[in-house]
Structure 1
């Protein structure tokens, strides 16, 4: 014990002999050790953060690649999605026609069969009537123009420019006198005639190429018609299935909103079915009015000795194109006016322009308010936007479905419903 006590005393004496400078060095050593320890901890933390960052980086790119892959699959599936959407909208609109046959005591299966058979006939008749008729009229116009052009060229070669102008009867006496007075130089007249003949030859060649383009169009039409027929069959088949499973489809769509929104969405769907059904019936009646009104007008003209060729085809085309919102009546008037120009001449075309304008005016001011007043309650701007977007995405089908799509959007986002 005495030895242990002596050691403690010697230790105390040693520590008491340490100078303040030595103590300061010891404190600095401790500080350095703490700094080294903190640096080591920061290095460990940076390594850990780097591992987390790398993990996030890999996760980010993995999710990004997955989203790109899903987007690519979705993009490749857009045509299928368009067909499904089109089929469902068609099935909603066709419900009104199916309901008509069901009221006649037909079963739902028979009603669906008859309704979609009529739809298929309607689509095929539209394509078969419109495209060949327009191609035939354009061919006749080009041929007539080429005949007139060749006759004018022969007259220039045989009689010369001066005699052709004099015998045409198109110029008044004063204009004819002024022209011949100012162009009395034979060399100048010959130069003008040469340039005119050259221009006529170039114009004739251009119109001949247009005639060949119409032939190519006919070939392309056959190919396009096969594609159209295939897609139409798919849409009609899907629409039939949607009509058969109407209640199941409505329940499935309503269930996507969850239990709280189920009843709300289901009632919305019922309202969409009813509204679009009313719209389709009204639209078909308006198209029927347009076709009958034009045919009766052409029949009356024939009683007065003005015969327009292809009265039935022209009337059906006029009625079919009226289905296209806003621009349909304008586009439908073009074949009618062409028929008047080719069958009767300029005054026949002008007369049919007046008749189609009168029929359209009666439709917009009498028939539309009578049949479709407050049927859908859709803003015109919404319809135009639907037409533009539908046309860009789905082509002509998108334009035809512009009103149903606009109606669905409006009904889905309205706050109150009955």
Structure 2
């Protein structure tokens, strides 16, 4: 076996192998970019299918419900969960609309305070500021009409995907065996064991990551809501839930949530000291998230280093915006599992991995491990 590998290495020097991997990755990203409107809903559905697999197994094997009905119930429960979050946010936004007069008054007060500060600091009169704002608003309006069309198109795509993803998820779960058999048919017999290992590791890694992410989201939302309530910030529950949801976008999600919370605080109150409370709550939650929640909950069998994660998120954001950022880590995890199980690509898996994580991976949450182990018993 070693002789065959040595001969293969002589036939394929490093620079040729490097070029092959590089061209393959460029082709992959090109396909993802141009096919993002079709592929990304399918990728979301695939992740949902992997996440809901233990639920399907529970209904099918434990409760003896027919397989098709088990899949339908699993997808329905997922829709119910997501709908409840959307309804809650809509309900909270209703309160904001009810307080619109107070919000507009606070915005007006802040605007005048800023005008006074600019005049005292830079000796720029109110008329000059207003003249500048009028010119800026004219330019903004011209650009705004262009962005409005883009926003309407994006929103239409979002609504379409919202309908398609549950259907895709149901069908992917229903035809799971068909896809596995297809892969077994196109792979040579000597590599079938490798294929089964890859599929099992991908399922385990994705389930571990997504279950951990959902748990982290719930804890971050709860901690932030409690912190904002203690600090006396209005709409604490809504801002807490939004922070939990945005925290699912690695690295930048919590920053976006903090900016939104500061803006919401400014519009709901004239007390500028509350901004310090928002920053303090976010800093504490971020510290707990990075040092306790992520090592204990989100750590999975696949370790990805920070450089690979950040670059992946940037590429994902460039290709498909927020959905690309969210999908970046699972896609990198899948790529790493494939690399780790193919001898010639193993060094690339090592490159995007994080060996130091094994020493500081922390304690794992028992119920997540239980769910994952149960699902691993059933392929």
User: Which band: TM-score by shorter chain?
Assistant: 0.5 to 0.7
Residue in 2 that maps onto 1:319: 244
CA distance in 1, matches of 2:63, 2:219: 27
Residue 347 of structure 1, aligned match among 255, 268, 273? 273
Instruction: Map 1:209-288; keep pairs closer than 5 Å.
Output: 221=151, 223-288=153-218
Residue in 1 that maps onto 2:259: 334
CA distance in 2, matches of 1:329, 1:92: 26
Ranges in structure 1 where 5+ consecutive residues have no aligned partner: 1-71, 154-163, 180-191
- Larger relative contact order (C-alpha < 8 A, sep ≥ 6)? 2
Instruction: Map 1:191-210; keep pairs closer than 5 Å.
Output: 196-205=125-134
Cα distance, 1:211 vs. partner? 9.4
Ranges in structure 2 where 5+ consecutive residues have no aligned partner: 1-29, 344-375
CA RMSD of aligned residues (A): 4.4
Residue 360 and residue 149 in structure 1: after superposition, are their counterparts in 2 closer, same or farther (change >3 A)? closer
CA contact 1:149–1:204 (8 Å) conserved in 2:
no
Cα distance, 1:200 vs. partner? 2.2
Cα distance, 1:353 vs. partner? 0.9
Residue 123 and residue 260 in structure 1: after superposition, are their counterparts in 2 closer, same or farther (change >3 A)? same
Instruction: Map 1:146-185; keep pairs closer than 5 Å.
Output: 146=108
CA distance in 2, matches of 1:400, 1:362: 21
Residue in 1 that maps onto 2:75: 116
Cα distance, 1:235 vs. partner? 2.6
Residue in 1 that maps onto 2:47: 89
Cα distance per residue 1:368-414 (max 9 Å; x no partner): 11113344212222222322222222222111111110110010110
Cα distance, 1:279 vs. partner? 1.2
| TM-score scaled by length of structure 2 | 0.66
Residue in 2 that maps onto 1:382: 308
CA distance in 1, matches of 2:31, 2:218: 43
CA distance in 2, matches of 1:385, 1:105: 44
Following TM superposition, the consecutive aligned residue runs of length 4 or more in structure 1 with deviations greater than 6 angstroms are: 72-76, 125-128, 135-143, 150-153, 210-220
Cα distance, 1:255 vs. partner? 2.5
Larger radius of gyration: 1
Cα distance, 1:85 vs. partner? 3.7
Cα distance per residue 1:339-383 (max 9 Å; x no partner): 323333211111111011101101111111111334421222222
Residue 408 and residue 77 in structure 1: after superposition, are their counterparts in 2 closer, same or farther (change >3 A)? closer
